[in-house]
Every structure is written in C-alpha cells, then in structure tokens.
Amino acid sequence: MHSAKCCRRFPTAPAWCHPPSAARAAEQHCLHLLERSSAPAAVLQSLAFLLKSGLHANPLVLTRLFASSAAAAPALLEPLVAALLRPSVPIDAFLVNTLIRAHAASPLPSARLRAAAFFPLMLRSAVLPNKFTFPFLLKACAALPGFPGVGLQAHAAALKFGFATDQYVSNTLIHMYSCFGGEFLGDARNVFDRMDKSSVVTWSAMIGGYVRGGLSSDAVGLFREMQASGVRPDEVTVIGVLAAAADLGALELARWVGRFVEREGIGKSVTLCNALIDALAKCGDVDGAVAVFQGMEERTVVSWTSVIDALAMEGRGKEAVAVFEAMKTAGVRPDDVVFIGVLTACSHAGMVDEGYGYFDSMKMEYGIDPKIEHYGCMVDMFGRAGMVERAMEFIHTMPMKPNPIIWRTLVAACRAHGRLELGESITRNLLNEYPAHEANYVMLSNVYALTQRWKEKSEIRREMSKRGIKKVPGCSLVELDGEVHEFIAGDESHPQWKEIYMMVEEMARELKHVGHISATSEVLLDLDEEDKEGALQWHSEKLAIAFVLLRTPPGTQVRVVKNLRVCSDCHAAIKCISLVYNREIIVRDRSRFHRFKNGSCSCNDFW
C-alpha cells in the first residue's frame, strides 16, 4: 500500500532517464529474468537488476515481479510490495489484479488476509476494474470465512460495475458464499438460480458448495437435476459427487459414479482416483478402494494415505502397515498426515510396539515433529491396550498442552478398563475448564451411571438444562434403491414410521429371547428402568436397521452411517440383531467402522 514508510529512495536513475532503446531493452531483459525465476535466489537476482536499471516504478515489471515472488518465494511477496508499491508507481488493473491474486493464493495467512485490501487501492487510483478483477477478488474473500461482510461488499461492487451477471463472476460468487458456511448457502443458490445453466462449471460450483456446507443430500439431488438437464459432468463434478457419497455413506452412488466415469470416458486423473478411493472406503467398501488403488498407474502420497486410512478404519492394522512399508519401498516420502493413518491402524489393531516405533521414526528418520493429532493417536493406542497409566505418563511428556480430545480419549480408556475414579477426576477437570461442551457432561454422567450414583447423574442433567446445553441428537443414514433415508432418535417424520416402530418392537422382543439386557446407564434422562429401556429402543441406528430389515430380502447386507459414537447398548443390540436376523451389519460411527456378523463386532468391543 502507499505509506510513508514504504517511500524508500533507490540510488539509481529511473528508467525514463535512459535512452528509449536502452530502457526498453532493460525492461525486456528484466521480464525475461523474472519469467525464469523459479527459486527465491533467482527472484532476488531479478530484483537487483530491476533496481539497478531504475525499473522500480515500471508497473509491467512490478506486476511480473509480484507474480514471480508469489510463485517462487511467497515469503518475499509482502516485503517486496511494502518496499516497491510507492505513490510514484502508475496503478493499472493488471497490477492490482495480480496483487489480489498473488496474495489470495499465498500459503501465508498474513498475505491472504491482505488480498482483498488491494481493491480499494484500485478505486482510489481511479482505475476501473475489469472482468478478471472480480473472480480474483471474490476468491480472496472466500479465503476470509470469518469476514463475510467483505464478500458482501465485493458482491455489491460487482453489481455496481456491471460484472455480477458475468458467468465467471457468478460461479465465483457461488464458491465464495459456500465458503462462508451453511447460513450463506441460500445466497449461493440464489445466484445459481438466476444464471444460465448451460455450463458444467456452474453446476459443479453449486454441487461443491452444498458438499462444503454439509448438505450432501442436496448435492446429490442437484447432480440428478444436472443429468436431467443434459449437461455432461466433468472431473470436478464427479469429485464433488464422490465427496457427497462419502459423507452420506452412499455406497451404491459411489460405485455408480465409478462406472459412470468408465462409461463416459472421463479422464481418471490421480485426483479423481483418490476421491474414488476415499468415497468407497468411507462407504465401507475397503476392498473396492484397494482395487482402485492397485489399478492406478500413478500414485501420490494422498493415494497411499487414503488406502492406509481405509484399512485403519476397518481395524485391518497389519494390512495398513504393509501398505505403508510398500509406500516407503516405492520411494514415496511419508508426510505427517500418513503417519496419523499408520498410528490409527496400530491403535485399532493393538500393535503397541509397532506404533511406538513408527512414532519415534517420525522425528528420527523423517524430521517430522509430531503434532497433537499424533500424540492423540498414541494415547488412544495405549488406552485400547489397557495401558492407562502409560497413557497418562505419555500425556505428561507432551511438549504441548493436551487438548480436550486427548483427555476424552483417556476417559474412554478408563471406562473400558474399570479406572472409573481416574475417569471421573479427568472429566471434572474438563468440565471446570470447558463448561460449555456437552460431551464432558455426557461422559461424567456415564461414569456416574457405571458406579450407580443416580443422584449425581440427575444433577448433571439439571446442570445441563440450567446452562442451556443440549445433547447432540443422534442421526443415522441408510441408502436404499438410490435414495438416502435419514433417521433421528424418536423421530416420526419418515413416511413408514409406524411400520418401522413396529419392527423395532419386534426386534426388542427377539433380542430379549436371546438374553439381551438394555444398558440403561446410557440414558441421560432421569427415568425409571422400564422407561429407560424404551428410550434406548428408539435410538436412530435401531430405526435405520429396522427400516432396512423391512425393505430388503433376508441376507442383504445392512449399512448405516451415524453422526455420533455408537452407545454401548446399541452396540450390544446390533451384535444380537446380526445373529438373530442372520445379517451382516456395517455401521460407520464417528470413530470407526463396526462390522457386525454372527453376534460379534470387528472392533472387539472397544471403540
């Protein structure tokens, strides 16, 4: 920006003091140097020539310098702009557009925050924006989700200057509003509804916006509208739909998209294959995900990570570790993200020694400083193995303050291995430090229930009510005949709710015949035992399973996606349901996949 501290004088004659031919030659040579600048040293060499040749007020050269530094030396961009963007520099749209774009694409948060601030410079300099200005500006605003007001002002400016109906501007408006969160998706849809819909980019932008805003069902519905309109999806569309399928656990949709890609001849780029691996894995078809991975001609670290994560979520730790070793053999250097998958795999498979070895190798072999997520994986691993004291010791050696997730992980281990006093102590500390988080109240309530301290459990309920804290409602999704059905605990909104509830009651009777006793300690409400059993009976996953049992022939696999951790009663009940009804039931909850078959679960009752 123009400021007094930026007005440093350079001991060179400006370019206009040179003969025209010499000035032109210097400009062209500097542009050539900048075009070839692919490293910080090269950018600095070009800068030295620029200053020596007196080109520091040449807008074309400065534009190229800022673009080159953004690409080759991001850390130099802000200092260069502060030093060179002086009042003597003639401002034009090309220069300002480049400044906005360079700052918006920077990996440095400080630079991204400044991107939109260059638009007022354009207006103060009486320079009119052009059709390229607003896509760059709106993308810069999209990177500021905490400041939607800036984006609203940018939209108003686009309307004022007559660019709001431009297709590229409108597509970027959809992207910007979707980045601001769910409450702005209506604004994105308003822009979409007013547009000409002949471009695949427009459809892809809105589908991606819905996925980004957590409305995956709407994304799938819009994709079907797109097909009906005759617009052919491209790779970006397909990746958006696969993300929606992964979120919904819609396996048939994910498989259909895979077949669609083959049938339509859409290029199977590495990015698309990675998205397909992720979708199949999150929908429970790990073997299908592995098959896609094995068929890839080119693989990135993301490809390897996706397969490792998929196997880890299924509890197939040894296979996940084997893939990791194959990755190293293939010469692909692990990053910090892939180590989260490896440590999770070791945790879910009880491979404590192997997991500790991989944790140590991060720093020793690869120079990667473990992040809090890696420490959390280690605490989880020790906890699953029953090493509660070792987990506590490990937490005390962490170089950073443990976050609530790590402490809740330890509390879960305390519950599973009978260390209830320690679990209560940790949860009370969490409540004191984070009194507004509902999970802490639920955890302490569960501890009180396990120790049959019903009075204290009731006090927790009253405290939650007094503070206006509500337990997040359980929600379960199932996909059937190409349609996703949603169930909420105790909900009666489904068209077949009466038949579903009758099926749930039948399931409860069948489970009692095989000796299932409801785990009434899971109920937070202050009810008598009979009412507690009723409350547990209508949990969302039981409604979802009852619906699938009603609508599918015997032996059909049941797939459920739940937004929360499966409670212990539902976990025990689903094991019995798999036995009584002879069904394989796959449940994806917040932490992992549970594969129920013949009365047992793949998680070995620790999740």
Instruction: Tell me the residue type at 44.
Output: L
Q: With a cut of 80, say whether residue 533 has pLDDT above it.
A: no
> What's the mean pLDDT in 510-528?
62
Q: With a cut of 90, say whether residue 172 has pLDDT above it.
A: yes
Q: How many Å apart are CA 249 and CA 593, to the nearest integer?
A: 11
Q: With a cut of 70, say whether residue 521 has pLDDT above it.
A: no
Residues whose CB falls within 8 Å of the CB of residue 27, separated by 6 or more in sequence, listed in order: 15, 53, 55, 58, 60, 61
For residue 17, the surrounding DSSP H or E stretch is none
> What's the mean pLDDT in 538-566?
92
Banded model confidence at residue 519, pLDDT cuts 50, 70, 90? low
What pLDDT is stored for residue 450 in this prediction? Answer: 72
As a whole-number percent, the residues of the chain with pLDDT over 90 amount to: 68
* pLDDT single digits (tens) 436-466: 777 778 778 777 777 777 778 778 877 877 7
What pLDDT is stored for residue 338 in this prediction? Answer: 97
**Would you list the DSSP string of 300-336?**
-HHHHHHHHHHHHHTT-HHHHHHHHHHHHHTTPPP-H
> What's the mean pLDDT in 544-548?
96
What pLDDT is stored for residue 20 in this prediction? Answer: 60
φ and ψ at residue 254, rounded to 5 degrees: -60, -45
- Mean pLDDT of all residues belonging to the chain: 88
Banded model confidence at residue 6, pLDDT cuts 50, 70, 90? very low
The answer to whether 561 and 541 have CB atoms below 8 angstroms apart is no
What pLDDT is stored for residue 512 in this prediction? Answer: 87
What is the radius of gyration, based on Cα positions, of the chain? 29
DSSP secondary structure code for residue 177 in this structure: H
Banded model confidence at residue 507, pLDDT cuts 50, 70, 90? very high
φ and ψ at residue 483, rounded to 5 degrees: -120, 140
Assigned token pair, 360: 């140590």
What pLDDT is stored for residue 438 in this prediction? Answer: 77
Q: With a cut of 80, say whether residue 7 has pLDDT above it.
A: no
Q: With a cut of 70, say whether residue 5 has pLDDT above it.
A: no
What is the fold of 379-471? Answer: 1.25.40
The answer to whether 347 and 381 have CB atoms below 8 angstroms apart is yes
What pLDDT is stored for residue 467 in this prediction? Answer: 79
